[in-house]
């Protein structure tokens, strides 16, 4: 547990122990950013670190089977680790509905939201959290998140226990994104010379997938706070829906500066996670990204984190390795990697070191 000054201890108690989250803190009427959320100057995203030319690739996937589409996806995964897809077939109504339901959930009174904190939740398939790893962080992220687990098998039994204001919308969103996830995985794995995703592989790679609703309440001084610190995702891939507020930035490929991910209505932002970087033996890149706080609006985003079974063993795929190519990673049990990743604050791409040879 990090050392904190008495002010921050008090904020910690209100946000974490009392289960109010950052939403509860904002609702309490704060007009300044508390110390616990004040980011050291050199870690802020100053304007001189933002690159205004260029953007991550935008790929039209109206015809998934077009070889050019497949090529663009694999190239983007290798060069950028991040891209947007448009014309993916998930209706805008489904996307709007899940975003609206996100605002409904976080608009609930605190007593209603707090039913889903880990210690209270009626099922482990739904959980509300705040910041990223509150017990390991000295500076908090300006974010709460509601996560719903999609697999394995019997998750549907617990859906009636999900929050009524968003469960149908999240369920529909999760189901509607499945074919998109499946197509992306097929194409990305084919790009690594994997012939097909058989049932066993699908089960190993995607069973613990979750839908998360990220909520970034309006911040009285967004320059001082961070929505999410620079990090890479531990997932295989992440498919994310954002809203029109913007605020997501991706580390430029040369490592210098940050590029804004321009909101495109109806698009998904797709990024490669650590699991796939490991499986591809660095052919695909899990790129650092971060979110800034917003001074005028409550922002939501709804990522699907495609996640392996916790007992799956992840390592460079034999098919992906050229002859004589050395593996850069050892085999790791997914649960061990996730425990490591979620046990510390967000810290760029440091988690990957856990698996690196």
Contact residues: Ni ion, CB under 5 A:
233
CB-closest chain residue to Ni ion: 233
Among ligand OGA, Ni ion, none, residue 291 binds (CB under 5-8 Å by kind): ligand OGA
Among ligand OGA, Ni ion, none, residue 214 binds (CB under 5-8 Å by kind): ligand OGA
- Residues 190 and 184 sit within 8 Å (Cβ to Cβ): no
Residue 342 CB, shortest distance to Ni ion, in Å, is 13
- Closer CB to ligand OGA, residue 281 or residue 301? 301
- Closer CB to Ni ion, residue 137 or residue 233? 233
Among ligand OGA, Ni ion, none, residue 61 binds (CB under 5-8 Å by kind): none
Residue 275 CB, shortest distance to ligand OGA, in Å, is 14
Among Ni ion, ligand OGA, none, residue 98 binds (CB under 5-8 Å by kind): none
Which residues are bridge partners to 60 per DSSP?
86
The beta-strand segments (E) located in 248-327 are 248-251, 258-260, 268-272, 289-292, 299-306, 313-314
Among ligand OGA, Ni ion, none, residue 301 binds (CB under 5-8 Å by kind): ligand OGA
Binding site for ligand OGA (CB under 6 A): 214, 228, 233, 240, 242, 248, 289, 291, 301, 303
Among Ni ion, ligand OGA, none, residue 144 binds (CB under 5-8 Å by kind): none
Residue 325 CB, shortest distance to ligand OGA, in Å, is 30
The whole-angstrom distance between residue 159's C-alpha and the CA centroid of its chain comes to 21
- Tell me which H or E stretch contains 106: helix 92-106
- Residues 234 and 274 sit within 8 Å (Cβ to Cβ): yes
CA dist., res. 250 & res. 181, Å (int): 21
Residue 214 CB, shortest distance to Ni ion, in Å, is 9
- Tell me which H or E stretch contains 177: helix 167-190
- Closer CB to ligand OGA, residue 214 or residue 281? 214
Residue 173 CB, shortest distance to ligand OGA, in Å, is 15
- In the chain, alpha helices (H): 6-12, 21-27, 67-79, 92-106, 110-113, 155-158, 167-190, 199-206, 274-279, 334-342
DSSP 348: B
- Closer CB to ligand OGA, residue 304 or residue 320? 304
Pairing of strands 58-60, 82-86: parallel
Residue 273 CB, shortest distance to Ni ion, in Å, is 8
Both tokens of 12, joined, read 């910690």
- Closer CB to Ni ion, residue 246 or residue 327? 246
- Closer CB to ligand OGA, residue 214 or residue 280? 214
- Closer CB to ligand OGA, residue 248 or residue 293? 248
- The total of other beta-carbon atoms located within 10 Å of residue 154's CB is 8
- Tell me which H or E stretch contains 204: helix 199-206
* Backbone CA torsion sign across 119, 123, 128, 129: positive
């Amino acid at each position: 547990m990090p050392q904190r000054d008495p002010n921050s201890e008090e904020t910690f108690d209100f946000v974490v122990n009392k289960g109010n989250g950052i939403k509860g803190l904002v609702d309490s009427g704060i007009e300044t950013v508390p110390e616990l959320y004040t980011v050291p100057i050199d870690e802020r995203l100053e304007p001189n670190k933002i690159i205004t030319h260029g953007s991550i690739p935008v790929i039209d996937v109206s015809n998934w089977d077009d070889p050019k589409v497949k090529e663009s996806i694999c190239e983007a995964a290798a060069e950028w680790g991040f891209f947007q897809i448009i014309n993916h077939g998930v209706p805008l109504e489904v996307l709007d509905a899940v975003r609206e339901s996100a605002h409904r959930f976080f608009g609930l009174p605190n007593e209603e939201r707090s039913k889903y904190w880990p210690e209270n939740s009626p099922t482990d398939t739904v959980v509300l959290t705040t910041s990223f790893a509150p017990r390991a962080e000295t500076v908090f992220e300006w974010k709460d998140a509601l996560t719903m687990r999609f697999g394995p098998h019997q998750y549907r039994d617990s859906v009636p226990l999900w929050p009524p204001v968003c469960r149908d919308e999240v369920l529909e969103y999760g189901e509607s994104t499945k074919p998109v996830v499946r197509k992306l995985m097929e194409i990305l794995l084919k790009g690594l010379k994997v012939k097909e995703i058989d049932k066993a592989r699908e089960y190993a790679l995607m069973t613990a997938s979750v839908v998360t609703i990220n909520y970034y309440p309006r911040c009285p001084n967004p320059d001082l706070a961070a929505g999410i610190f620079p990090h890479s995702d531990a997932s295989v891939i992440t498919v994310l829906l954002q809203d029109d507020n913007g605020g997501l930035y991706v580390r430029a490929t040369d490592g210098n500066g940050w590029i804004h991910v321009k909101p495109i209505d109806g698009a998904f932002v797709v990024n490669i996670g650590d699991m796939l970087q490991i499986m591809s033996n660095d052919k695909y890149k899990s790129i650092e990204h971060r979110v800034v706080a917003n001074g005028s609006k409550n922002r939501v985003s709804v990522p699907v984190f495609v996640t392996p079974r916790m007992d799956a063993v992840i390592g460079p795929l034999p098919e992906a390795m050229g002859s004589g190519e050395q593996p850069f990673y050892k085999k790791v049990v997914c649960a061990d990697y996730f425990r490591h990743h979620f046990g510390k604050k967000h810290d760029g791409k440091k988690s990957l070191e856990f698996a690196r040879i």
